[in-house]
Structure 1
Amino acid sequence: MTALITVENLCMDFGEKRALNNISFEVAEGEIVGVIGRSGSGKTVLLHLIRGVDQPPTSGRVIYHVAACDGCGWMDVPSAAGKACPKCGHSLSPIDVDFWDPANESLKRRIMTRSAIMFQRTFALYGNDRVIENVMHALEDINYPSSKAVTRAADLLDEVRLSHRMMHIARDLSGGEKQRVVLARQLAKEPFLLFADEPTGTLDPGTANLVHGMLNEAAKKNDMGMMVTSHFSQVIRDVADRAIMLKEGEIEVIGSPDEVIDRFMEGYSDQETYCRAELGANILIARDVIKRYLSVDRGMVKAVNGVSFEVSEKEIFGIIGKSGAGKTTLSRMISGIIEPTSGEMNVRIGEEWVDMTKPGIEFRGRAKGYIGLLHQEYDLFPHRTVLDNLTDAIGLEFPKELAIRKAVITLKMAGFTDEKSREILDRKPGELSEGERHRVALAQVLIREPRIVILDEPTGTMDPITKIDVKHSIMHAREQMDESFIVVSHDMEFVRDICDRIALMRGGKIIALGEPEEVLARLTEEEREIMGKPGA
């Protein structure tokens, strides 16, 4: 196979921390390479260096072997050398480009126009525009002929199987649908290489499998290579031709997906056990809660339709259901971000019950201070250190010594070791892995000492071992701080292992509520397929 990219002795330092150490490998033309590793292994840093994002490497080289047109500047794969340029008809000539050499900046920009990237946890869509308009914006960016843009956009939506959503407003789509719009927008650029950084980390298993299939189909149809990072072995099995496992910034093994996954899963076990918690009195009571939306496309939508439940002190309460069931809307009402259309939502603060349906500092405003929410697309301040993010950046003013003490304690509750907690205090979010950023975001919620913590897809982008850490951090926080947790998730194994009770939602209603095994037994075959069979 013809080499498209050669990575030679690539190293990347952030201060005194070495994120990548002597990384060397090749990516062939049209090949799909999967990169797997635990949080902090260097996956995202590697992907960004090969794509040209952020800053140059500390040392080493990324070399692109391409065919370039001297007439219009078009770049193509190396096997196109000697052929006519598809844009202007000039001959394409082979060229090797040292990607991060400042002297090659113009060549680097030309290569970057022929690659595309799907970032993790950000859909980067025009939220108020229709789906087809989002794809047309991407075509405008590459100066696609306006007379043909509508037809081309419709073709791309056919390719990602979203023709039935082309007139929907982008913000009203599910997570999986948004990710497919992102894919259509990237395909509009006609890339010869797509970088996908945790492309399905926040999606339920059924939707993730659909997107994996889309990525494979897109690669074959468009003669496109890919580099895909993931914590999840199934992503690598579904998508990759060849896989690389990173461990602490170094290549541990390169080989077939099965070989690499077997190495990655060595020693994966969960030995820690917990006693069943003694739950306290009710801390949250919801009665006949309804939330209706007026949608331009669908008229009146009943996102949540008459739900009732209670949550006790120290309880870990799960809310499950497939995409569109109403889980996230319900969690946003519990947190006070949105108010119900009707019904009751009462939270106990001390010995008093506060009505969350009423605005004002004595009602919803008062209760919100005791409810923490970690949503899927969390937002840390990128130019502030971890310590700042945990303290003054969210309005907590401590003397320096107390700030550090409090930050370290909270980071440990979020799954870091004492040593790691102190090590990352002066780092910025961009110097952390995705899994580490997720745990810092959880710590940012816990440091405010809420009585109720709402976790929206807490394990979305985590590898199996980090997921164990998160489970332990929640259990420890419950034991040490008497916290109550509401976990909104499509991860059936996680909710089964961690929750005291779960509520199953369908069509905006709670159709089953009870102990995990009892409720999970009520899942339909479709729900099992979409959300992932427990224990599978």
Structure 2
Amino acid sequence: MTRLITIENLSLSFDGIYALKNVSFTLDEGEILGVIGRSGAGKTTLIHLLRGIDQPPTTGRIIYHIAACPSCEYVTVQSHSGQKCPKCGGILSAIDVDFWNPDQELLKRRILARNAIMFQRTFALYGNDRVIDNVLHALDDIGYPAGKAITRAADLIDQVRLSHRMMHIARDLSGGEKQRVVLARQLAKEPFCLFADEPTGTLDPKTAYLVHKMLKEAAAASGMSMVVTSHFTQILDEVATTAILLEDGEIKASGSPKDVMAVFMKGFHDDEVFCGVECGKPILQARDLVKQYVSLDRGLIRAVNNIQLEVNHQEIFGIIGTSGAGKTTLSKMIAGIIEPTSGELNIRVGDEWVDMTKPGFDNRGRAKQYIGLLHQEYDLFPHRTVLDNLTDAIGLEFPKELAKQKAIITLKMAGFTVEKSKEVLNRLPGTLSEGERHRVALAQVLIREPTIVVLDEPTGTMDPITKVDVKHSILHAREEMEDTFIVVSHDMEFVRDICDRCALMRFGKIIKIGPTAEVLAEVTEEERQVMANE
């Protein structure tokens, strides 16, 4: 096969810390390369360099082997050299482009116009526009003939199996549907290479399979090459033709997806032993707790209905249920974000009980400063270092040395090693992997020294190995900080592994509360299927 990209001894460092170290491999025309690795392995950094985003490599080169038209801006794969340019009729000639060489900036821009990229969390859609309008915008960006654009947009939407959503507003689509609209927009560019960075990391396995199928079909239909990163082995099995394994910025294995998956999973185990924790006396009590809303189309809605609940000090307590069961509303009342309509909700601060139903510094305000909340859609300050995010960016004023020491201790509690904690302190969030950013966000909560931590879907976007890290970080925090954790989740396996007790919610009510194994036994098969797909 004809070579498309050659990567030679590629390295990139941030303040002396290497995110990539002497990475070398090739990508052929039509090849689908799967890049797998744990969070922080360097996958996103590699994608950014291949796509031409952010800063150039510290050392090494990326060579694109292309065919370029001397009469216009058109470029394509090198196997088309000698053919007529489809834009102007000129003869395409073979050329090798040193992608990050400033002297070849004009050729780099032409290559960028024929490449496409998909990200994990950024859907890059016009949220208030219809699906078809989103695709039409993409066609307009490349100067597609206006008279043919409607037909082309409809064909692209059909290609990603979304003809039944063509007139829907983009913001109202599910995550999987949004990702398929993104794919349609990228395919509108008729790229010869697509870079997909964790494209299905936030999707359930069933929806991920559908997007993977779309990616593979699109590559087969157009002959484009693809580089797809993931921390899930599913993408190697369902999409890739070849694979490499990244570990701490270095290639540890390459070859067939099956062989690389075997190396990736080799030695994976979860055998760390934690001390048994004897939970203390109650720290949270709810009696007849109600939260109701009035909707114009649905009338009176009881999102939480007559909840009776007690959580003990140092307990890890789970709240489970399908979407709409009321678990998020309950967790927000516990965190003091929303006020109950009626009933009692009390939090113990020291030896005193604080009434969370009453506003004011001596009531709800007093307890809130000891309650930490980590949303699933967390956010970090993108232009501030990890150290700043953990300290002054959230209003914690420490002397410099104490701030650094406190940050390292807290990052360790959130799942980093001491060495890795020191390494990431002066890096920006954008240079970290998704899993690393999640752990920094958890550390941002823990550094405030809360006594109760509410975690909203803490494993929603994580691979199995990183989930173990998160589990360990929570268990370590319970041992070392004597914290109480309330885990809101639809991840039954995670809840089973970490929660001492849990509550199953349906239609705003707690149906069952008790030891985790007993409560999970009450979950219906239908509920399991719904929660697995959320």
Q: Distance between the aligned counterparts of 1:420 and 1:377, measured in 2?
A: 24
Supply the distance in 2 between the matched residues of 1:172 and 1:83 (Cα, whole angstroms). 44
In the alignment, is residue 196 of structure 1 matched against residue 205 of structure 2?
no
Of residues 284-293 and 7-16 in structure 1, the stretch that sits farther from structure 2 once superposed is: 284-293
Q: Which amino acid aligns with 1:186?
A: Q
Mark the CA change 1:408 to 1:527 in structure 2 (over 3 Å): closer, same or farther.
same
Structure 2 segments unaligned to the other structure (5+ residues): none
What CA deviation, in whole Å up to 9, does each residue of 1:216-271 have, x standing for no partner?
23322333322111112222222211110112221111011111111111111111
Larger mean Cα displacement after TM superposition, 188-197 or 427-436: 427-436
Give the residue type in structure 1 aligned to 2:428.
K
- Quote the residue 1:285 is aligned against: 286
- Which structure has the greater CA radius of gyration? 2
Q: Residue 311 of structure 1: CA displacement?
A: 5.2
Partner of 1:518: 518
* Secondary structure class of the residue paired with 2:140: helix
C-alpha spacing 1:123/1:332, structure 2 compared with 1 (3 Å): farther
* Conserved 8 A contact 2:277-2:314: no
Superposition RMSD in Å: 3.2
Q: Tell me the CA shift for residue 99 of structure 1.
A: 0.7
Measured at CA, do residues 129 and 166 of structure 1 come closer, stay the same or move farther in structure 2, by a change above 3 Å?
same
Q: Which residue of 2 aligns with 1:310?
A: 309
Shift of 1:322: 5.5
Say if 1:178 and 1:414 are closer, same or farther in 2 by CA, change over 3 A: same
**Matched residue SS, 1:47:** helix
Question: How many Å separate the matches in 2 of 1:48 and 1:21?
Answer: 15
Contact 1:316–1:486, Cα closer than 8 Å, also in 2: yes
**Cα distance, 1:420–1:73 mapped onto 2, change above 3 Å:** same
Contact 1:121–1:377 (8 Å) recurs in 2? no
Q: 1:393 and 1:421 mapped to 2: Cα distance?
A: 18
Tell me the residue number matched to 1:449. Answer: 449
Cα distance in 1 between the residues matched to 2:268 and 2:327: 30
Contact 1:204-1:530 within 8 A present in 2 as well: no
Give the Cα separation in 1 of the matches to 2:525 and 2:223.
36
Change in Cα spacing, 1:228 to 1:520, as seen in structure 2 (3 Å) is farther
Give TM-score, length-normalised by structure 2.
0.88
Q: Matches of residues 232-243 of structure 1 in structure 2 within 5 Å?
A: 232-243=232-243
CA distance, structure 2, for counterparts of residue 28 and residue 323 of structure 1: 44
Maintained 8 Å contact 2:336/2:356: no
Which secondary structure state, in structure 2, belongs to the residue aligned with residue 82 of structure 1? coil
| One-letter amino acid of the counterpart of residue 308, structure 1 | I
Paired position in structure 1 for 2:49: 49
* CA distances 1:359-399 after superposition (whole Å, capped 9, x unpaired): 66666655543332222333222222221111001111112
Residue 178 (structure 1) shift: 2.9
1:437-496 Cα shifts (integer Å, max 9, x gaps) = 221111011111233323233234444333222111101212232323232334332221
Q: Distance in 1 between matches of 2:180 and 2:285?
A: 37
1:289 aligned partner, one-letter code = K
Q: What secondary structure sits across from 1:373 in the alignment?
A: strand
Q: What is the identity percentage for the equivalent residue pairs of Structure 1 and Structure 2?
A: 67
Looking at structure 2, the residues matched to 330 and 170 of structure 1 have their Cα atoms a distance apart, in angstroms, of 29
In the alignment, which residue of structure 1 is the partner of 2:345?
Answer: 346
Contact 1:67 1:80 in 2 (8 A): yes
Describe the SS at the equivalent of 1:251.
strand
| Contact 1:205-1:531 at 8 Å conserved across structures | no
* Letter matched to residue 347 of structure 2: R
Determine the C-alpha separation between the residues in 1 that align with 2:166 and 2:329: 23
Q: How many residues align?
A: 528
Query: Residue 485 of structure 1 aligns with which residue?
Result: 485
Taking a change above 3 Å as real, the CA distance of residues 181 and 320 of structure 1, as seen in their structure-2 partners, is: farther
Change in CA separation of 1:487 and 1:165 when aligned onto 2, cut-off 3 Å: farther
Q: Residues of 1 paired with 2:80 and 2:298: CA distance?
A: 51
Q: Which moved more, 1:118-127 or 1:43-52?
A: 118-127
2:139, 2:188 within 8 Å by CA — same for their partners in 1? yes
Between the aligned partners of 2:13 and 2:62, the Cα distance in structure 1 is 16
After superposition, what is the alpha-carbon deviation per residue over 1:13-64, rounded to whole angstroms, capped at 9, x for unaligned? 2222122222111111121111112222211111111111111111111111
Please give the per-residue CA displacement for 1:295-352, whole angstroms capped at 9, x wherever unaligned.
xxx9889694647353513332334455676655665555455667x55583515233
Structure 1 residue 137: Cα displacement: 3.0
Q: 1:16 to 1:241 in 2, by over 3 A?
A: same
Q: Go from structure 1 to structure 2 and tell me whether the alpha carbon gap of 1:414 and 1:193 turns closer, same or farther (over 3 Å shift).
A: same
Q: Which residue of 2 aligns with 1:98?
A: 98
Query: SS state of the match for residue 458, structure 2?
Result: coil
Retained in 1: the 8 A contact 2:292–2:300?
no
Structure 1 CA distance for aligned equivalents of residues 129 and 469 of structure 2: 39
8 Å contact kept, 1:206–1:531? no
Q: 1:51 to 1:85 in 2, by over 3 A?
A: same
